[in-house]
Amino acid sequence: MISSAELTSLATTHDIISLGMRADDARRQRHGAKTTFVRVAEASADVGAAISRPPASGELRIVGVPVSRAAAVARVHEVAAVAAGATVTGFSLADLERLSAKDGVTLRALLEELRAAGLELVADAPMDRLQNPRSSIEAVTLAGLSLARLTVDQAPAGDPMALLTAVADLQRAVTSVRAFAPLPRRMSAAAPTTGFEDVKYIALARLVVDNVPSIQVDWSLYGPKLAQVALTVGADDVDAVSAEDETTEGRRRAPLAEIRRNIIAAGQEPVERNGRFDVLAR
């Protein structure tokens, strides 16, 4: 257990090697050498849009903002009909908050409609965009759904520890967050983060948010190089690996071979999972 004084010291340190080692120790105590990854196929939130579901998909994720409550429900019906065993996830919880308010229904009621249509997990909950993180995440659970991941929309201004502490406090209240992806989903053109800052934030997330099982990095958003480094400083799960088995660059560069190779290069054991975090035997 790391004391508050130690965390404060680590937050201001420039010794990324020592910080990374502390975070890696914490990661290995929880997960050993195993690193999970999920292959994701994405489907637009637009009703009637084409749906591609490669056989290797462990998760079929609806992305984008639905235009209405009825459109959201209809799109889940369409996607669930072709999922063929892949976990059906979709939408940002922040967008669903706004959609329920717009239609004058409770968030729980909207989530229950989506579940009845075939949704299994809400794809993400951006901590910094939610109107009421605790009540909204509790609504997900009460509706019989799960949350795929807690995310951060934009890098926090000022002290990054405030957001990490808030995530840990939220988890103590809701206890249902399975994975936290601490790196921002949107980059600021005026003040982009550096690789040093990204790696440091991953390490701090593992140490501060010690009550969330998995610290996640997005393969499609941040790329193989940062993902591999992140796995050595506290991250244990890789999201959004392509579900395509082949590429124009040949089998050596195929997504499955590449993610496995990068995890092994980080000194860890690759374990494929689906969107429900069930291990897949492939």
Provide, rounded to the nearest whole percent, the portion of the chain with pLDDT above 70: 94
Provide the 10 A C-beta neighbour count for residue 109: 15
In this structure, the chain runs to a length of: 282
Confidence tier at 187 by pLDDT (50, 70, 90): confident
pLDDT at 149 over 60: yes
pLDDT at 202 over 80: yes
Structure token digits, residue 227: 């993902």
pTM: 0.93
Confidence tier at 192 by pLDDT (50, 70, 90): low
pLDDT at 183 over 60: yes
The amino acid present at 172, given as its one-letter code, is: R
Domain boundaries, the chain: 4-273
Tens-digit pLDDT profile for residues 19-47: 999 999 999 999 999 999 999 999 999 99
The SS3 of residue 117 is: helix
pLDDT for position 2: 72
Phi, psi at 131, each rounded to 5°:
-70, -40
- What is the rounded average pLDDT for all residues in the chain? 92
**Domain 4-273 classification at class level:** alpha beta
Tens-digit pLDDT profile for residues 211-242: 999 999 999 999 998 999 999 999 999 999 99
The amino acid present at 19, given as its one-letter code, is: L
Q: How far apart are CA 94 and CA 187, in angstroms?
A: 18
CA angle 233, 236, 240 (to 5 degrees): 115
Structure token digits, residue 101: 């308010």
Contact 149, 239 (CB under 8 A): yes
Alpha carbon separation from 150 to 134, 177, 226 (Å, rounded) = 12, 7, 20
Higher pLDDT, 78 or 162: 78
Alpha carbon separation from 8 to 126, 165, 194, 234 (Å, rounded) = 25, 11, 21, 18
Instruction: Point out which residues pair with 43 in neighbouring strands.
Output: 62
pLDDT at 189 over 90: no
Contact 11, 205 (CB under 8 A): no
Q: Which of 211, 156, 144, 213 is nearest to 183 (CA)?
A: 156
Q: How far apart are CA 266 and CA 238, in angstroms?
A: 13
Tens-digit pLDDT profile for residues 95-135: 999 999 999 999 999 999 999 999 999 999 999 999 999 99
Tens-digit pLDDT profile for residues 59-102: 999 999 999 999 999 999 999 999 999 999 999 999 999 999 99
